[in-house]
A = this chain, B = another copy of it.
Amino acid sequence: MATILDVAKRAGLSKTTVSRVINNQDYVSEENRALVLQAMKELDYHPNPAARRLRGQLTMTIGVVVPAVTDPFFASLTAAVEQTAYEKGYRTMICQSSGDKEKERLFLNLLKTKQADGMIIAALENDWKDIQPFTKHGPIVLCNEDIPEPSVPVIKFDQLSGTYAGIKHLIQQGHQRIGYCTGALFAEKGRDKDRNQGYQKAMAEAGLSINPAWIFVDRHTTEDGKQLLTHVMSMEDRPTAVFTGSDDIAAGMITQANEQGVRVPEDLAIMGFGNQPIAQWITPALTTIQQPADGMGQKATQVILELLHNNQAEMEPYELPSDIIVRKST
């Protein structure tokens, strides 16, 4: 590889002048600039990033931490990050934490060791107090998390109004007996709390009461969904609609409903959350809440670049709107 010195020699100038041209600085005569550009082209010269980095430059690399790229939501988010970063000249490193706290922390060392300029954490594994210290080595942006004090920007989408819109939709369909299924406990903090509040708000506004027996907690998987469907249909006094915390659960419920001959939505309306690919392929197709993964990835990247270049950003959470996608299951 040609070095800056090669270029300088060929152009009959000094390294300094070449460096000035590379970095678009002033005080280079037009003719010399042209000479340098010419030499660079002829030698197919590319500045060595390691050397620039060593001199304290930016790495032009950002990192993104996701639980797994195979999850469609995180795949979209990652895709958007890569795309947005690329357009600004940045490269993207990925880390799949796979629920591994140590891997997450190890990956954040990229910041410490100046291999990445900033980090986007799409899902936090560690407690924030264990991650916080990394912020002194470079900017971190969080997605969909609530942290004690807003010391870093957080990109969220509006779970409350998403859920609110979902429940309201069910009510408009004529449902009054609406169950609610969540991955967390009902009183939980954070993301799930917002959703729960959306549920409560919509029910309260419509003057509907919440039946505690129709609140199902700690359900996560397709399998959980299958069991839940069976459970619900076996209840004496049962809801006519269930709002679930994920498309996976909802898909499990629908699968089991088809199995048992339960008609969706006639016997039981089912709503998902996330608008994953399953949602459009399952029969009946699933009404669900769209999570703006693309938007979050874009926004997170924009914010981190802003932070990198101007060293400031809004610390109030960025709230992205979420839409309801009405299909056949409600």
Residues of A within 8 A of B (CB): 1, 46-51, 53-54, 59, 61, 68-70, 72, 75-76, 78-79, 82-83, 86, 91-96, 98, 103, 107, 109-110, 112-115, 137, 251, 258, 277-278, 281-283
| A260 CB, min distance to chain B CBs, angstroms | 15
List 20 A–B pairs whose Cβ atoms lie within 8 Å, in order of A's numbering: A46-B113, A47-B113, A49-B115, A50-B59, A50-B115, A68-B79, A69-B69, A70-B79, A72-B75, A78-B94, A82-B96, A86-B95, A86-B103, A91-B95, A91-B107, A91-B115, A258-B283, A277-B281, A281-B282, A283-B283
The residue of chain B having its C-beta at the shortest distance from the C-beta of A83 within the complex is B96
- Supposing A54-B54, A70-B75, A103-B86 touch, asked if A46 and B91 sit within 8 A by C-beta, the answer is no
Judging by beta carbons under 8 Å apart, are A92 and B91 in contact? no
16 extra A-B contacts, CB within 8 A, seeds A46-B109, A91-B95: A1-B113, A46-B113, A48-B54, A49-B113, A49-B115, A50-B51, A50-B115, A51-B54, A53-B53, A69-B82, A91-B110, A91-B115, A92-B94, A94-B94, A251-B281, A277-B277
Instruction: Tell me which of B50, B112, B115, B277 contacts A114 (CB under 8 A).
Output: B50
Give bound CA distance, A109 to B91, whole Å: 12
Residues of B within 8 A of A1 (CB): 112-114, 137
User: With contacts A115-B91, A278-B281, A282-B281 known, is A76 near B70, CB below 8 A?
Assistant: yes
Give the Cβ gap from A279 to chain B, nearest Cβ, in Å: 9
Alpha-carbon gap, A244 to B139, bound state (A): 48
Q: Which of B50, B59, B69, B112 contacts A75 (CB 8 A)?
A: B69
Residues of B within 8 A of A72 (CB): 70, 72, 75, 277
Q: Which of B46, B69, B93, B110 contacts A112 (CB 8 A)?
A: B46
A23 vs B93: C-alpha distance in the bound complex, in angstroms? 25
Question: By the criterion CB–CB under 8 Å, are B114 and A48 in contact?
Answer: yes
> In angstroms, how far is the closest chain B Cβ from the Cβ of A89?
10
- When chains A and B are docked, how far (Å) is the Cα of A50 from the Cα of B112? 12
A283 to B, closest residue via Cβ = B283
A70 to B74 Cα, complex, angstroms? 9
- Residues on the B chain within 8 Å of A83, using CB: 96, 98
A46 to B59, CA, bound (A): 17
In the assembled complex, how far is the CB of residue A69 from the closest CB belonging to chain B, in whole angstroms? 5
Chain B residues near A53 (CB, 8 Å)? 50, 53
A58 CA / B48 CA spacing, docked (Å)? 14
Measured CB to CB, the nearest residue on chain B to A282 is B281
| Cα(A137)–Cα(B1), bound, Å | 9
Nearest residue (CB) in B for A89 is B106
The residue in chain B whose Cβ has the minimal distance to the Cβ of A80 is B70
Docked Cα-Cα span, A110 to B278, in Å, equals 36
- C-alpha gap A54/B48 in the complex (Å): 8
Tell me whether B93 and A61 are in contact (CB under 8 A): yes
Question: Do B54 and A50 touch (CB < 8 A)?
Answer: yes
A122 to chain B, nearest CB (A): 13
Complexed CA–CA distance, A98 and B80 (Å): 12
Q: How far is the CB of A103 from chain B (nearest CB, A)?
A: 7
